[in-house]
Structure 1
Amino acid sequence: MTQSATATAQGCIFCAIAQHKAEASTVYEDETVVAFMDRYPVTPGHLLVVPRHHAVGLEDLDKTTGAHVWAVAHDLARTLRRSTFRPEGINFFLCDGEVAFQTVLHLHLHVLPRYTGDGWTVENLPKTLDRDRQRLDGDAHAIKAAAARPAGSPPFGT
């Protein structure tokens, strides 16, 4: 865990929920994750899946835990469809960093039941970048080069 992640863990509401030191309407828990109703839901049935171990964002999350967070969210989405909520669709939403609208600095995956006319939108969703193939190939190369470097190494080989 990074030093900032350690500092943030103190006073973290999601850590308190995971340790049963704060109230939550829990729908699932195991040794790795806890899933509970969002206190400020955007639609009825809105759930959060959080790792028990404090992780600010994706950089602080190991692959095994990340896969488990996703698997639990996937199972809960199926469960929501069979529940009395009867959503017409599901969105998964994860904000990694404040610039990406992360408001609680403990990684959490939103499971959002969707309903016709529910009013929830993602601002500026239709806006897209127009990239030619050469630019897309260059972007792909940059990502592949980063994937070849060990985690935590500087991004530009410095």
Structure 2
Amino acid sequence: MENKNLVDDCLFCKIIRGEVPSYTVFENDDVKAFLDISQVNPGHTLMIPKKHITNLFDYTKEDVQRYLQYIPEIANAIKKAFPNVTGMNITTNNGKSANQVVMHSHIHFIPRFKGDGLKLMTRNNADQYDEAKYNEVADKIKAQF
């Protein structure tokens, strides 16, 4: 059965259709989860909706309920598969400037192990903010709801 919610030139849509092989760890009518080819750490898995959605900015509330409900189930399966997991980064890159490479929504599950040496880059700019600046930023966001 052809899925009309997929596009022709998307790598992840091709994986869903079986045109490109993957190391699938979980699949149902809603999502497919498979090993990330980079394997940042053993068990690094991607979960994708079986509907072409570019990234989280394009999700409807219905999409969230349908596709993201599987995050805990997949995370727990990875944790159980690797008993020495001490944590897990569950991330998504949304847009090219956020390092999204495949323009089909996907969630990364990156198992963390004691001493794995993996560093996710963040920075602390708290010293550049005072109460007025925090309120200004918060108010800009609040005004969008």
Q: TM-score range by the shorter chain?
A: 0.7 to 0.9
Identity %: 29
Q: What's the CA shift for 1:116?
A: 1.7
**How far apart in 2 are the matches of 1:99 and 1:66?**
23
1:12 to 7, 10, 13: 10
Asked if the contact 1:31–1:52 (Cα under 8 Å) also holds between the matched residues in 2, the reply is yes
- Pairs within 5 Å for 1:88-127: 88-123=86-121, 125-127=122-124
Aligned length: 140
Moved over 6 A (4+): none
- Pairs within 5 Å for 1:1-158: 9-84=7-82, 86-123=84-121, 125-129=122-126, 130-147=128-145
**How far apart in 2 are the matches of 1:85 and 1:37?**
18
Matched residue type, 2:88: I
Asked if the contact 1:44–1:85 (Cα under 8 Å) also holds between the matched residues in 2, the reply is no
Gaps of 5+ in 2: none
Q: What's the CA shift for 1:102?
A: 0.7
SS in 2 for 1:105: coil
**How far apart in 2 are the matches of 1:92 and 1:30?**
20
Gaps of 5+ in 1: 1-5, 148-158
